[in-house]
Structure 1
Amino acid sequence: MKGNKKDSSEKPIWDRTSSNISMTRPGRLMIWLLLFISVTYIIYTLKIVSTSHPCQEDLTSYDSDSILHHQRPAKKALTVPVTAAEHEATDLNHVVFGIAASSKLWKHRKEYIKIWFKPKKMRGYVWLDKEVKIKSDAGDQENLPPVRISGNTSSFRYTNKKGHRSAIRISRIVSETLMNLDSEEKKKNVRWFVMGDDDTVFVTDNLIRVLRKYDHEQMYYIGSLSESHLQNIFFSYGMAYGGGGFAISYPLAVALSKMQDRCIQRYPALYGSDDRMQACMAELGVPLTKEIGFHQYDVHGNLFGLLAAHPVIPFVSMHHLDVVEPIFPNMTRVRAIKKLTTPMKIDSAGLLQQSICYDKYKSWTISVSWGYAVQVFRGSFSPREMEMPSRTFLNWYKRADYTAYAFNTRPVSRNPCQTPFVFHMSNVKFDPQLNTTVSEYTRHQDRHPACRWDMANPEEINNIVVYKEPDPHLWSRSPRRNCCRVLQTKRNNTLWINVGVCRAGEVTEVK
């Protein structure tokens, strides 16, 4: 029994000891495992922190745009550095003019070219059909572009019975101008070729403002249509009229020069140079980019209605100066154009831009065509009416047919009380103290018919003075007609007007 008791008493002791040993062994293993993991984590963390190279990002978590973004640095070494000249804004030194001229009309038409072309600032050539005398005593050599003689076109067929084969010669002027540039001149960053006639006058500052809108490294054919609806139907609504002028980018001129002679051979029945040019543009697949500031002026008579209501675009060119009347009364055509160059130099962006306002005390409607003329009407005319040109001119076929125009016009009023009082520009100057232009307009002394309306008579006004700040960035903003305001003064025979950018909330409302 004792032995049994002894055995029974020792067994529990052995079991407890055995149990303690079996529980502590896994615990120690767990501790060692935790210590190993901790040390490994610390070492790995220190390695990441101490490294100088960033971790590579997992591109699989990005969309395609992000992947391209991460790939761009690899391409950077392959790009060619862009020079400052390539970022330079287009200017006159980037333009080459090609002027179509006739030896028969050279004597007096060269005077139009002298008005706008500045040899020291511009590049270009006059292309004639044969040699002419260049008179040094008349300033021809100093004030005109170099004269070139067009290439022989006798081998080209011309079958149009109403036209003249000189159209072939003129249509090749852009290509010949390109070929006439030597290798040194080509390095001078030519961007545009501008074509015009010898009876065309350009406002070159506005021409540059238009060209700056376009990428000269792309193919562009820029110009405008005829004012005559019938002319556009007969020739094309997709054609730039060369008299009003058009611009061709350098890449397009290069492409044209390579195929133009073959192209011309395919169109012997076409009338003029313009439609031949457009036919080749169609083969190249380049459409006309319309800029209606290039003015063909296929009209007869008095341009006043068109100039006094010029659309809200830069005034780039005017053509057919030998066909229409002088733009200022009692002057020769050349002298009248020279007079317009005074406001052109002071504020070319605002030239001929129309503003409309009302004198509510006298019930007058006033239209300002800056730098050209001011009209004063009795009564109230809506802006919608005033921005339509009045029919002071005839169409190209010398008819008073308003349906022949490619734009809206309004009739000249038959009511004697609604005949406008016209004041033409007499002087323009810049006041540096006020930082504004001061233009004066004098009433054209036409006899006005008697009016029985019981209202203030504009005949009492002899002069109009317009204040306007120069706005060279006018065409960098969205197009909007300037506003004008009548200023109250004690001088009854002078009307004072302020013209400028419309203020916040300002509206031209009929009073």
Structure 2
Amino acid sequence: MKLSQKDSEKIIWDQMRSHSPPILSNRVGSGFPKLLFYLILFVSATYLIYTLKLLNTHNNIPPCSDQQQQHLIFSSHLQNVTVPLPNYNNNKLAKTELKHIVFGIAASAKLWDKRKNYIKLWWKKEDNMRGIVWLDNRVKTRPGEDDGLPEVRISGNTSHFSYKNKQGHRSAIRISRIVSETLRLGNMDNVRWFVMGDDDTVFVTENLVRVLNKYDHREYYYIGSLSESHLQNIYFSYGMAYGGGGFAISFPLAKALAKMQDRCIQRYPGLYGSDDRMQACMAELGVPLTKEAGFHQYDVYGNLFGLLAAHPVTPLVSLHHLDVVEPIFPDVTRVEALQRLMQPMKIDSAGLIQQSICYDQSKGWTVSVSWGADYTAYAFNTRPVARNPCQKPFVFYMTKVRLNSTTNVTVSEYARHRVPHPLCKWKMLDPSNLDKVVVLKKPDPHLWDRSPRRNCCRVLKSKRKGLVVDVGLCREDEVTEV
């Protein structure tokens, strides 16, 4: 119940009349000293005035903002000490660039000769990239051959750390310390992020920068993604960044980690790998994983075509486990396949592996543009295997791409993958007669500055041989429908 000021005054006055005067009058009537009577009356009147003033102040106080409320709370506890609140709106950050990132790459001397070729694909020494490859033992370096690689160092001695996991290898300890060891090297001027990855990981650095620009590097951030495998996530964690797919740690968090990590590692000798040790220390620091689906662990085997062709609507940041999956393009080596991927990456990195779907109604075809199992095994939706062999899709792989400098449009050509197909009685134009698809797309470096949305796809009428498709931003009211 809420009382008005007038009601409050009446209640207090009635209380004073009903209780104080009888006591005082009895004592006065018994010869009680007048001076003491007037003193008690003065104190009572003072109390009444003070109470009324509080009520009046409470009823007339203007509403205050959250910021003012917080200031009042601070002032009431700290008296005259004021605590300024952070104001990020008036302090806009300059955009994060490649120069603000330091890479820590985990590698082994035994596999270095082979896996350094993956690093050469994405490492850009001419762009003054910063990073260290951390090895377990020394390797021979060949003059000229290794010039395009980052600096190579040997990890510190970790023999004094306890390791009790019978299924793992104690190299996990040295790998978990890579960010801290890199930080301790010094010369960290203008560093905002530390990015961890393996020697068989390929980064799309432009997209990595796009993702990190979403976050304030002055705060504590631990950014990465899960495994594609349910079993891996169940066995390890759904809140852990899988290290092979890469993860990013903001500079302040890296400093906090370096101060406590060695003590933290000693507390978890039974853990399996480096990434679960990293997560354990993050948990002690109170920092959860910020998930970005563009980091790819790829705990799978065989052909990645389905995963790549149905990539989530997010920038492709990394590809991992390239030694255990098939080449992403057929009939070439793994490195050659990735070199082919570098062509569209240089022209339009933002749109890499993004899927668009459209229909050629005149022919009855569904067209899914992307260059690119078992639904119980993976932590994402999968397409069921078609029972009818005639529902098997016709796959076209990218063979070449170029940028038309006059129109600023990329022209990429896809050739049909020649594999046996059953004889089918089509109720539409026979798709087996199609050998080539041409895709036109204007590069869009600001694709991820807008809200996530797939590009739209349109089948064009053209005199070119084969199917010609245009991909780009969706027009107003444009939807994917037959």
- TM-score above 0.5, yes or no: yes
2:169 equivalent in structure 1: 164
- Pairwise CA distance, 1:411: 2.3
- Tell me the alpha carbon deviations over residues 137-159 of structure 1, each in whole angstroms, 9 at most, x when there is no partner: 42x0x210000100000000001
- Residue 198 of structure 1 deviates from its aligned partner by 0.2
Match of 2:142 in 1: 135
Q: Which residue of 1 aligns with 2:410?
A: 437
Report the AA paired with residue 389 of structure 2.
P
- Cα separation, 2, equivalents of 1:419 and 1:430: 32
**Match for residue 149 of structure 1 among 135, 150, 154:** 154
How much has 1:107 moved relative to structure 2? 0.6
Map Cα deviations across residues 79-119 of structure 1 (whole Å, 9 max, x no partner).
99x9x998321000000000000000001000000000112
Q: State how far apart, in whole Å, the 1-side matches of 2:258 and 2:220 are.
A: 13
Does the 8 Å contact 1:216/1:249 carry over to 2? Answer: yes
* Cα distance per residue 1:185-222 (max 9 Å; x no partner): 222x1000000000000000000000000000000000
Report the AA paired with residue 155 of structure 2: S
Comparing 206-215 with 438-447, which one deviates more in the overlay? 438-447
Q: Distance in 2 between matches of 1:424 and 1:120?
A: 31
What are the superposed Cα offsets for residues 255-277 of structure 1, whole Å, 9 maximum, x if unpaired?
A: 00000000000000000001000
Looking at structure 1, the residues matched to 261 and 309 of structure 2 have their Cα atoms a distance apart, in angstroms, of 40
Q: Name the SS for the 1:403 alignment partner.
A: coil
Cα-to-partner distance string for 1:327-353 (whole Å, 9 max, x where unaligned): 000000011011100000100000000
* Residue aligned with 2:179, SS: helix
User: Within 5 Å, which residues of 2 pair with 1:47-446?
Assistant: 64=64, 87-121=93-127, 122-138=129-145, 140=146, 142-180=147-185, 182=186, 185-187=187-189, 189-369=190-370, 372-373=371-372, 391=373, 401-446=374-419
Amino acid at match of 2:172: A
Q: Is the 8 A contact 1:295 1:316 kept in 2?
A: yes
| TM-score, scaled to structure 1 | 0.77
d(CA) in 2 for partners of 1:416, 1:236:
38
CA distance in 2: counterparts of 1:216 and 1:261, whole angstroms = 24
Cα distance in structure 2, aligned partners of 1:364 and 1:89: 43
Separation of aligned partners in 1, 2:158 and 2:353: 41
2:111 alignment partner AA: L
Distance 2:155 2:329 in 1: 35
CA distance in 2, matches of 1:269, 1:236: 15
Is 1:416–1:450's contact at 8 Å kept on the other side of the alignment?
Answer: no
CA gap of 1:367–1:62, structure 2 versus 1, over 3 A, is same
- Alpha-carbon separation, structure 2, partners of 1:454 and 1:215: 56
Residue in 2 aligned with 1:500?
Answer: 472
Q: How many residues align?
A: 409
Residues 66 and 108 from structure 1, CA distance in 2 versus in 1: closer, same or farther, beyond 3 angstroms? closer
CA gap 1:365/1:229 in 2 versus in 1, 3 angstroms: same
Question: Any idea what the Cα deviations from partners look like across 1:155-181, whole Å, max 9, x if unmatched?
Answer: 00001000000000100000001001x
Structure 1 residues 148 and 449: alpha-carbon distance in aligned structure 2, compared to 1, 3 A threshold: same
Partners in 2 of 1:366 and 1:152 — Cα distance? Answer: 55
> SS state of the match for residue 441, structure 1?
strand
Q: CA deviation at 1:446?
A: 1.4
Q: What CA distance in whole angstroms lies between the structure 2 residues aligned with 1:234 and 1:431?
A: 49
Give the alignment's TM-score, normalised by structure 2: 0.81
Structure 1 counterpart SS, 2:260: helix
Distance 2:124 2:453 in 1: 31
Quote the residue 1:483 is aligned against: 456
User: Following the alignment from structure 2 to structure 1, what is the Cα–Cα distance between the partners of residues 142 and 427?
Assistant: 61
1:462 and 1:351 map into 2 onto residues whose CA distance is 23
- Aligned residue in 2 for 1:57: none
In the TM superposition, what is the alpha-carbon distance from 1:453 to its structure 2 partner?
Answer: 2.1
Q: Counterparts of 2:401 and 2:274 in 1: how far apart (Å)? A: 39
5+ unaligned residues in a row in structure 1: which ranges? Answer: 1-59, 72-77, 374-390, 392-400
Q: Partners in 1 of 2:447 and 2:385 — Cα distance?
A: 31
Q: Report the 3-state secondary structure (helix = DSSP H, G, I; strand = E; otherwise coil) of the residue aligned with 1:465.
A: strand
CA-to-partner distance for each residue in 1:442-463, whole Å, 9 max, x for gaps?
1111121111123211122121
Pairwise CA RMSD: 2.4
Distance 2:160 2:452 in 1: 48
2: CA distance between counterparts of 1:270 and 1:65? Answer: 48
